[in-house]
Structure 1
């Protein structure tokens, strides 16, 4: 045991008693156990002694003699002069009007203060500090895990880049080989041309030689030499060899291709230090905190999946053909959209409050923030807009060359998660509440693309980012650091995920909109299939979107109607 936290146990002072001390006789200055205290107070000689709990005891102080009155004990303290005195000293003129206290009382007060501070250190400061140290250790492990993932991603991206360089190199070498073959072919043809011409000259040379002997004189006279005129030497062209122009690139160019590592430019959160309780023996949460914890705990402990799903009610969303996405707001209001860019603000009675035109289609392109504002993606202009509660629309975030198609506002910390696409690539980007980019998620630890088409996106209670990827036929789940956890691809048949949401218990609920399926799947937060929550037998037809309200009811929008059906699925 560390000396700083050791608690020494004092035994009862009664002979042959081995019990722990709980009380103290201020008169005898003896520690007593409960049994010996009772006997001490029954004894006629000690029944009038002051016996108190040990933490309130007065210690048996060493006795000093008064310097002015050696026959008396200095057992009184002058508060003004802060010196020990005897009772006779208190009558002296220099102490007239001063306040005096019994030195045992002063010692008891200071002892109580020391015990109180010891209790604070042992019960609050040390445990809290050790808890924070443990938290830093855990953070260190998380940092190590994150950096291992980043290092793996760097290596995987480097391999991808090297593979591309190798492919480009191979293609260019093949191009060089093709050019070389073409030039050699032309030269080969020219070589044949001169071979044929040389044979012609040799034949002509032999013919002229044959005319020279006198014996062939008559032949020479009869020969038509004008037909033997020498043909001109054939003209050919010299090949023009190709020129290699070296690429112009620098370290920075390659570095940009290789991605970047950077610490997000955000202010780090301070570690939470719980307040010290007023009680010395235990740290009590506030009544409000206890009530909230009890309510949350009670809800989680009492909720579970029902054996059957019950239809609660229906409501119609005016101004849309079909309901492809729902964002629940405050006070029983919601936003809903169709595939034609109609975005409608309505209440559960079907009263339209506002309607705007957007560039959105059949995806989860809007969400309600912690402040109650609606934000939605504009894929055409590559921005994210905000609709404030006074109905004004403002440009909130620009997404550069990436088209934002899906969005979700975190209920945990207000961060904004956006699914984006660009030229065959896809990613999920995290922004803070102020709209500052703090994280990009695009590849797994092997350098493989995580997403093709992040159509709908949400966040689970443990911080996991859950994405419904229409093109991949999968629900892709990564943790809050962006590390791939699992992908869910359905139950054997073609899986076409659309709307996705999570609930208070960490369930992942997703629509399967393949025309032969028409089902709603429910998984636990580790991706294990639990059941088909809704099927065509329950009247469901092409479910497109869903969300869970504050009463833990499931709202489901469908392809063929602008009516939303509400189900109770927890009990």
Structure 2
């Protein structure tokens, strides 16, 4: 029989306490009358599950382990366990907060439902997306590697044709030499043979005279021996030796073409924020007119390229064309000065996440760490010269470097002294960066892109964290007195890219996709080194004046 029709039992709505119940919300474990169902469903923040009361799911209470005949319909908040009525009133739980287990169940059910919602709508779809991406990449793998094999075969055929042509030419040259050699010897033979025939005749005549004892013939004989004592010219032809060069496999590899090594970057899995924690980062719009808020005298000579790196919003490290690196405050007071280990000029500096200073020493091919005013060499390069350096959010080091012969440039990522990544070529095997010892300042953006100001190429080159080219920015097509010559570069909390353009006395601001946003002028004279502090103040080192300027632009 329907419980609602039992005369002896009157079941009322849990909300209004007056009307007969009709429905049950399984999500909230609450009984509702027809009027209160609408009120209950008005709370859209919860996904309610209202069903007719007779179709509700029955609750399975656990049996008390100490009192076999009782069900655990209460909950001890302190012990965090279900308890029966007897246990709840016993000395074991004296002074503890005891609540109705249905209330606890409702909270737990809501928590479980939130977990399920997040799994279904946010987490699992991301796993599906990742699995789909992997399948797509696997599907394309055969095609892409077949293309590489085809290119290798084509290059091999080209080299085979060239080698065959060279071999055939050598054979032709050898045959021509042989024919010439033989012709020379035949000509020599043609000169000797008649003389030999003549000599044979003379020798035969002499024998006849001697045998005849003829006085007349003997007395009239005229000797020709002196004539034949001068031998005909003897032709000597030396067979040439083939000077075969030892095959240089490295040069042969270079002729064949370059195949960059397979780079596998296993990134740490992204940690998704919970639904409650998901929010956009605070937006800081660009100021219409950036403001100069401080000017600091670095103490370096004018017309000196300088690097800057923020230790805090009040302290900035800087270096110029001498062996001393300086830590200055906003009033220009010298807080600390440190000389390089070798006495060479540092090429660039960067502050690590721990607040230590890193500098590059091209003369010694080293990267050096200054910790507690003590200098230690962390990396020594072979065959490469370090140029510029930056410290990343993961506390890695990114270093631009050039080969000793100035024919190659690349960006290398280090974790401590361990090389983790090398970025040098695009997908077509073409160099990403210009060669030579020119400045190549770099910065990691907040989206983990790697941004390099390649002044020789007149471009800002941006690759993603895997080293794949995203874009190149070659300046804004507005009126420009001088060509775009980017040097210093930095990025801020909004993923803006800022690069110094000293020949045009301004700074370019780009968004993370390389779209030009605006310039910063602020009466700058040859801006060079750039950095931003933790609250997005911009510090600019001027080449012309050797001063450092602090600018608010957000």
Whether these two folds match at TM > 0.5 is: yes
Of 454, 457, 465 in structure 2, the residue corresponding to residue 480 of structure 1 is 465
Taking the aligned partners of 1:381 and 1:165, their CA distance within structure 2 comes to 41
SS of equivalent residue, structure 1 residue 132: helix
1:476 deviates by 0.5
Give the conservation status (yes or no) of the 8 Å contact 1:341–1:361. yes
Distance 1:369 1:139, change over 3 A: farther
SS of equivalent residue, structure 2 residue 426: coil
Equivalence for 1:198: 189
Distance 1:415 1:150, change over 3 A: farther
Give the conservation status (yes or no) of the 8 Å contact 2:322–2:344. yes
SS of equivalent residue, structure 1 residue 305: coil
Distance 1:348 1:82, change over 3 A: same
Equivalence for 2:211: none
Taking the aligned partners of 1:183 and 1:431, their CA distance within structure 2 comes to 56
Does the alignment pair 1:547 with 2:547?
Answer: no
Taking the aligned partners of 2:365 and 2:469, their CA distance within structure 1 comes to 27
Of 118, 123, 134 in structure 2, the residue corresponding to residue 127 of structure 1 is 118
1:400 deviates by 4.2
Of 84, 109, 113 in structure 2, the residue corresponding to residue 118 of structure 1 is 109
Q: Root-mean-square deviation (CA), in Å?
A: 5.0
How is 1:56-95 mapped onto 2 (pairs within 5 angstroms)? 81-83=67-69
| 1:1-59 deviation line (CA, Å, top 9, x unaligned) | xxxxxxxxxxx99xxxxxxx984759955444474799xxxxxxxxxxxxxxx999xx8
Taking the aligned partners of 1:128 and 1:82, their CA distance within structure 2 comes to 38
| 1:286-320 deviation line (CA, Å, top 9, x unaligned) | xxxx9xx79x52xx1xx323333333221111255
What TM-score do you get using the length of structure 1 for normalisation?
0.66
Does the alignment pair 1:413 with 2:394?
Answer: yes
How is 1:526-565 mapped onto 2 (pairs within 5 angstroms)? 526-534=513-521, 539-565=523-549
SS of equivalent residue, structure 2 residue 185: helix
Give the conservation status (yes or no) of the 8 Å contact 1:320–1:337. no
Of 318, 325, 337 in structure 1, the residue corresponding to residue 299 of structure 2 is 318
Give the conservation status (yes or no) of the 8 Å contact 1:156–1:446. no
- How many pairs align? 468
Taking the aligned partners of 1:160 and 1:398, their CA distance within structure 2 comes to 36
Does the alignment pair 1:307 with 2:306?
Answer: no
Equivalence for 1:354: 337
SS of equivalent residue, structure 1 residue 307: coil
SS of equivalent residue, structure 1 residue 194: helix
Taking the aligned partners of 1:147 and 1:425, their CA distance within structure 2 comes to 32
Does the alignment pair 1:383 with 2:370?
Answer: no
SS of equivalent residue, structure 2 residue 531: strand
- The more displaced of 484-493 and 27-36 is 27-36
SS of equivalent residue, structure 2 residue 489: strand
| 1:250-300 deviation line (CA, Å, top 9, x unaligned) | xxxxxxx85544656x8x74663767xxxxxxx755xxxx9xx79x52xx1
Taking the aligned partners of 1:483 and 1:401, their CA distance within structure 2 comes to 25
Equivalence for 1:136: 127
Q: Which runs of 5+ in 1 are unaligned?
A: 1-11, 14-20, 39-53, 63-76, 86-97, 102-107, 250-256, 276-282
Taking the aligned partners of 1:528 and 1:232, their CA distance within structure 2 comes to 86
What TM-score do you get using the length of structure 2 for normalisation?
0.68
Give the conservation status (yes or no) of the 8 Å contact 1:128–1:273. no
